[in-house]
Structure 1
Amino acid sequence: MRDIVHNIGVVQAVAPADIAANTNGAGIDLLSFDSVAFVIATGAITGAGAFTVKLQESDTDSAYADVAAAHYQAPIAGNLAASSTAKVGYRGFKRWVRLVLTKGGGTSIFASVIAIKGHAAERPVA
């Protein structure tokens, strides 16, 4: 049977909001999962808001460092576009990972981010 729902974990990384500053997403715990993808949904950009995306990793959910380029899957080049979706994946080895929205200029962007954890060690995933 085709079933994705019971094979993934879904976590809100950045709540939907009008984002006007650099924003660190929630730390995503990869315990019992072998992969994670972040899906970014944007709305309107106000005042020519220019935001980029990067990933950070940690062993403890406290001291984060930027993820090496080799550990990205489908990195997002350039600024996020208005009213669109984008995705980026992590293939590193740390337990915790988070997405960071970095403001490069302008006013703000409406955005939200969902983390989709895959390759669960135990299924079905609640």
Structure 2
Amino acid sequence: MRDIAANIGVVQAVAPAVLSATNTSAAIDLLGFGAAALVINTGAIVSSGDFTAKLQESDTTETGDFTDVAAEHLVGDQPASLAADSVVKQGYIGNKRYIRTVITKNGGTSIAAGAVIVKGRPSEAPVA
């Protein structure tokens, strides 16, 4: 009764790693799903690492076509700076086919982080 695994798709946007520069994920296709959320999981921060995260959207997979998601198409806020050893989630309610994550280095040395996109409300279930 409580299982949701058959009703969600999960895509790794950023493999867990120590990031020492800005990271932009590949395009993630939302075709076949009516909902999406970004989940970022962080670990240690070195030398006052200051990193921020955001979602971008596009109708194509062309890098130059992606733009920042407007605030009215997001549910929840990203922190001003990612904190060590934390989990942050943010919902996407826009209507573009593709989204991607951008984790931006603003200062310091590094942060251990990973990100996934959870896709929900599938048009066909169970989801493989």
Question: TM-score when scaled to structure 1?
Answer: 0.96
Which residue in the other structure is 1:55 paired with?
A: 55
Which residue in the other structure is 2:92 paired with?
A: 90
When structure 1 is superposed on structure 2, of 10-19 and 20-29 the one drifting more is 20-29
Q: Output the CA distance in 1 between the equivalents of 2:107 and 2:39.
A: 22
Aligned pairs for 1:37-116 (under 5 A) are 37-62=37-62, 63-116=65-118
Deviation, structure 1 residue 77? 2.6
Which residue in the other structure is 1:6 paired with?
A: 6
Q: Output the CA distance in 2 between the equivalents of 1:123 and 1:34.
A: 12
Per-residue displacement from partner, 1:41-71 (whole Å, max 9, x unpaired)?
Answer: 1010001100011110010111211111111
Deviation, structure 1 residue 100? 0.7
Q: Output the CA distance in 1 between the equivalents of 2:71 and 2:25.
A: 19
Q: Output the CA distance in 2 between the equivalents of 1:44 and 1:87.
A: 18
Q: Identity, % of aligned pairs?
A: 56
Q: Output the CA distance in 2 between the equivalents of 1:77 and 1:12.
A: 21
Amino acid corresponding to residue 73 of structure 1 in structure 2: V
Secondary structure of 2:13 counterpart? strand
Per-residue displacement from partner, 1:57-110 (whole Å, max 9, x unpaired)?
Answer: 010111211111111111213100001111111110100001110111101100
Query: Which structure 1 residue ranges, 4+ long, deviate > 3 Å from structure 2?
Result: none
Question: TM-score when scaled to structure 2?
Answer: 0.95
Number of residue equivalences: 126
Alpha-carbon RMSD: 0.9
When structure 1 is superposed on structure 2, of 6-15 and 60-69 the one drifting more is 60-69
Which residue in the other structure is 2:24 paired with?
A: 24
Q: Output the CA distance in 1 between the equivalents of 2:95 and 2:101.
A: 16
Q: Output the CA distance in 1 between the equivalents of 2:25 and 2:113.
A: 12
